[in-house]
Amino acid sequence: MANRTTPYGAFNFVVNFDGGELFGGFSDVSGLGTEITVAEYRFGNDKENHVRKVAGVHKVSDVTLKRGILNSKTLFDWIGAARTQGPDAHKNVTVTLLDESQKPVQSWVLRGVIPMKYTGPTLAGKGGGDVAMEEVVLSAEALELSV
């Protein structure tokens, strides 16, 4: 395979739940990220007056998914399961970037995911051409990168 010199477009992606189930097409995915907290520590007998940086706990950013409303209750059923089943409602969510020929390029795998916030559409009688959008914010325990 030849080396690619141009970046991939951000508009060609799919979102899968638990290894394959598509939850409908999302128009936006934002917030993919992780952060490692750093603790500062200094030995009392260090000759140089400076701190050492020690890696601490890591956390995964909340991920926001947006899509046009479909005639489907699957997403809302998962929200209901998170309310009643707690940890048993955890899912794994995979966001996969695709190239121009729809082949996977890179995937971000979120593990131990629960929906933490849902926002329904803004409905208005004027306009007529706007899409009714819904948004869900996901909380994940871990983030892995797969190439």
Both tokens assigned to 88: 């048993």
Q: What is d(CA 31, CA 26) in angstroms, rounded to the nearest whole number?
A: 14
The pTM of this model reads 0.86
Domain 13-146 fold:
Pnp Oxidase; Chain A (2.30.110)
The pLDDT value recorded for residue 90 is 95
The pLDDT value recorded for residue 2 is 57
CA distances from 96 to 16, 19, 108, 113, 139 (A): 8, 11, 6, 16, 18
The pLDDT value recorded for residue 20 is 72
For the chain, which ranges sit under pLDDT 50? none
Q: Which sequence spans correspond to the domains of the chain? A: 13-146
